[in-house]
Amino acid sequence: MISLLIATAFVLSLTVVASQITSCDRVESETCFIEGDKSVSGDVVLTPALLDGAQAGGTLRIASGAKLRCYHDLCKITVRDFANVFVSGTLEGSDVIVIASDKVRIPAGGLVDGNGMGYSKTEGPGAGTSVYNCYSRFIGASHGGRGGSECQNDPSRVSKATYGSETVPSDFGSGGACGSSSSPASGGGKVHITASTIAINGVIRENGGDQESGSLGSGGGRFFFGAQN
C-alpha cells in the first residue's frame, strides 16, 4: 500500500504591532524601504534621525503592498526631513503629515487613508444632532459645509455651523449622531503634504465613515497641499 501525504501551504499575512518604527526594513541606494504590515499603538514619527539605516537627504519609500497604520483615536503619522517620499503602499492614520524638501509622490496603487478616522460619533464642533421630535431625524454633521437637515415638522432645526479655515484647513471631520440606529459614523481624518513637487496618481481619502441605515451622516475630513521653494 502506498500512502500519500499532501502538504497544503498557507500564506500568512503577519501584522507587526509596535510602539514605534525604529529602522528601515531594507536600504538600497540611499532609499529607506518600509515593508510589510505594521500597526503602531501610538503616534508614528519617521525621520532619518529616528530610522536606523536612513540617510538625511535621502528617500523614504512605503513599499508597494506595505501598510503602516496607527490605531488610537486621532493618531498622527509624521514623515519629515527626507528629500523624497514615495507612498507606493498604504499610510493609514487620523492625521497624516508628509513634508519633503524635494518630491512627494503617491503613484498608482498608493493610498493615504483617513476614512472615518476623525472625531468619533457625536463628537466634534460640527457633530450631527439627534432630534427625536422630528418625523425624520436627519441633521448630519458639518465641517467645511453644513450637514444635511430634514426635520419635517420643524424647519428651524438645522445642522451646526461650519468650522475651520477655508484656505488652511486644520481640523478633523465631525462625527454623526444616532437617528433610529445606534451606530453613527466617525468623521474624516486629515492629511497635510508639503514639498517642492507633489505628484498624486494614487488615492487620498479622508471621507466621513459609513453609517448604518437610520443614523446620521458624519463630516468629511480635510486636505492641505503646500509647495515650498
Q: What is the pLDDT of residue 115?
A: 86
For position 211, what pLDDT does the model report? 56
Neighbours of 148 (CB within 10 A): 15
H or E element, residue 19: none
CA distances from 40 to 93, 145, 168, 199, 217 (A): 10, 33, 28, 27, 29
Per-residue pLDDT tens, the chain, 229 aa: give them: 333 333 334 333 445 555 689 999 999 999 999 999 999 988 999 999 999 999 999 999 999 999 999 988 889 999 999 999 999 999 999 999 999 999 999 999 999 998 888 887 777 766 666 655 444 555 666 555 555 565 555 555 666 666 666 677 677 877 776 655 556 677 888 889 999 999 999 999 887 766 554 444 444 555 566 766 5
pLDDT of residue 6: 30
Are 118 and 94 a contacting pair, CB within 8 Å?
A: yes
Contact call for residues 228 and 135 (beta carbons, < 8 A): no
d(CA 21, CA 43): 10
Please answer whether residues 70 and 44 qualify as being in contact, where contact means their C-beta atoms are separated by less than 8 angstroms.
yes
CA distances from 156 to 82, 131, 139, 140, 143 (A): 52, 12, 11, 14, 19
* Residue type, position 26, single letter: R
pTM for the complete prediction?
0.75
pLDDT at position 4 is 33
Instruction: Classify strands 149-150 and 138-139 as parallel, antiparallel or unpaired.
Output: antiparallel
Question: Could you report how far apart the first and last alpha carbons of the chain are, in Å?
Answer: 77
**What CA–CA distance (Å, rounded) separates 124 from 170?**
13
Instruction: Pick left, alpha or beta for residue 216 (phi over 0 → left; psi -120 to 50 → alpha; otherwise beta).
Output: beta
Q: What is the pLDDT of residue 168?
A: 72
